[in-house]
Amino acid sequence: MEDFKTIEVKRSIFEDNDADAQRLREELKAEKTFLLNLMSSPGAGKTTTLKRTIEALKGEMKIGVMEADIDSDVDARAISGTGVRAIQIHTGGMCHLDADMTRQGIREFGTEDLDFVVLENVGNLVCPAEFDTGSTKNAMILSVPEGDDKPLKYPLMFSICDVVLINKCDTLNVFDDFSKEAVKERILKLNPKAEVIFASAKTGEGFEKWIQWIRKEIREYQVL
Amino acid sequence: MHELGIVFHIVKTVENVAAGNQAEKVGKVVLQIGEVSTIIPSYLEDCWRWKCSKSEMMDGCELVIETIPAITFCEDCEETYSTVEHGKICPYCGSEHTYLIQGNEHQIKEIEVI
């Protein structure tokens, strides 16, 4: 019988990642690079939203996009078409990015000269909410066809987001059981500080507000 | 399947703690997982066996999961109740002014090493 010794650990499973994320946030702050962690379910319109966002902002700031996916480079290719720098990160089967993977992507990408980097996280409403990536701000896209009950089903995701973009509002006449009031109320109940913006990446409706939110956040970040 | 990512983080932390204590092998890891922590123990165990088999220090390591029941407190009537059974609404007075007092834990409690 071998002699085992017990060591008391008493540490959260997420503690190492949280500390690593905080270090990455400080590194990015020193470079004045604003990192937006963009999350959603698959098909909510992250890439389309991103393309329109880039078009609106690329004249006034240097933008980079990191696309995290389990496989393929279709999203990075779509973004490359807009003329900004894009990199594809494969998570190798993992359902989310953690701070260490984000840092590896950031260093490979070289973000020192960039003002605004968007991290398009893996399409998933569960794990990305649990692992702090080290981003400056967290954004999530919820599309109308997914339903207004999603804040009830994925409360953690909604509680960690600084901004929630309700996308595909051009389909509200078809998905007429989606209540804008109900979804907003449910989000604010979980997260009173969240900004809720109703928009459509397809038609451009509501985008002014979204772009203004990004502009304001980046300006404040770079000044402070 | 976020349990896979969680297992990666547990193993990394445990390996660091064990190495810091000059241990050669980890025989057992005890976790405290809350009932509403979104971690499913059976999935965690499957990922655990696979991940440990890739680590010399942790190959064959036993995983013990202590479940912490989820309990919610009602601010209005000051009663506590089972979160899993009743959710956000207090079963005693119907109030929504409630908050979780325990059950969201995801902690590495202790490890056994040689």
Q: CB of B88 within 8 Å of any CB in chain A? A: no
Q: pLDDT tens across A113-150, in order? A: 899 999 999 888 888 888 899 999 999 999 999 999 99
| Higher pLDDT among residues A149 and A70, named by residue | A149
Question: Does residue A3 fall inside a structural domain?
Answer: no
Question: Does residue B19 fall inside a structural domain?
Answer: yes
Residues pairing with A173 in the sheet: none
Question: Does residue B90 fall inside a structural domain?
Answer: no
Sheet holding A163-167, edge to edge: A85-90, A63-69, A116-120, A34-40, A137-143, A163-167, A195-198
Report the C-alpha gap between B61 and B50 in whole angstroms. 11
Average pLDDT over residues A99-121: 91
Domain count of the fold of chain A: 1
Q: What pLDDT is recorded for position A1? A: 52
Q: Which of B60, B58, B45, B48 is nearest to B19 (CA)?
A: B58
Q: pLDDT tens across A5-64, in order? A: 999 999 999 998 999 999 999 999 999 999 999 999 999 999 899 999 999 999 999 999
Contact A4 B28 (CB under 8 A): yes
Contact B107 A12 (CB under 8 A): yes
Domain count of the fold of chain B: 1
Report the C-alpha gap between A117 and A36 in whole angstroms. 6
Please say if the pLDDT value at position B88 is more than 70. yes
| Higher pLDDT among residues A181 and A74, named by residue | A181
Report the C-alpha gap between B94 and B114 in whole angstroms. 52
Question: Does residue A123 fall inside a structural domain?
Answer: yes
Name the band, by pLDDT with cuts 50, 70 and 90, for residue B64: very high
Q: Which of A83, A22, A94 is nearest to A54 (CA)?
A: A83
Q: What pLDDT is recorded for position A170? A: 97
Please classify residue A214 by burial: count the beta carbons closer than 10 Å to its beta carbon, then call 0-12 exposed, 13-18 middle and 19+ buried: buried
B17: CATH: 3.30.2320.50
A191: CATH: 3.40.50.300
Q: What pLDDT is recorded for position A26? A: 96
Structural domain of residue A41, as residue ranges? 15-223
- Show which of residues 37-76 on chain B sit within 8 Å of chain A, judged by CB atoms: 38
Average pLDDT over residues A180-202: 96
Q: What pLDDT is recorded for position A34? A: 97
For tokens 């010399």, the residue is B56
Q: What pLDDT is recorded for position A80? A: 78
Average pLDDT over residues B7-27: 94
- Closest residue to B27, CB basis, from A4, A12, A16: A4
Contact A13 B106 (CB under 8 A): yes
Q: What pLDDT is recorded for position B86? A: 93
Structural domain of residue B26, as residue ranges? 3-69+103-113
Q: What pLDDT is recorded for position B57? A: 95
Please say if the pLDDT value at position A94 is more than 90. no
Contact A5 B1 (CB under 8 A): no
Tell me: ipTM over 0.85: no
Question: Does residue A6 fall inside a structural domain?
Answer: no
Question: Does residue B37 fall inside a structural domain?
Answer: yes
- Chain centroid offset of residue A128 CA: 9
As a whole number, the mean pLDDT across chain A is 91
Name the band, by pLDDT with cuts 50, 70 and 90, for residue A75: confident
Q: What pLDDT is recorded for position B33? A: 94
Q: What pLDDT is recorded for position A85? A: 87
Q: Beta-strand (E) ranges in B25-82?
A: 26-34, 62-68, 71-74, 80-82
Interface test mutation site (partner A, options B32, B38, B63, max chain A beta carbons within 10 A):
B38
Question: Does residue B17 fall inside a structural domain?
Answer: yes
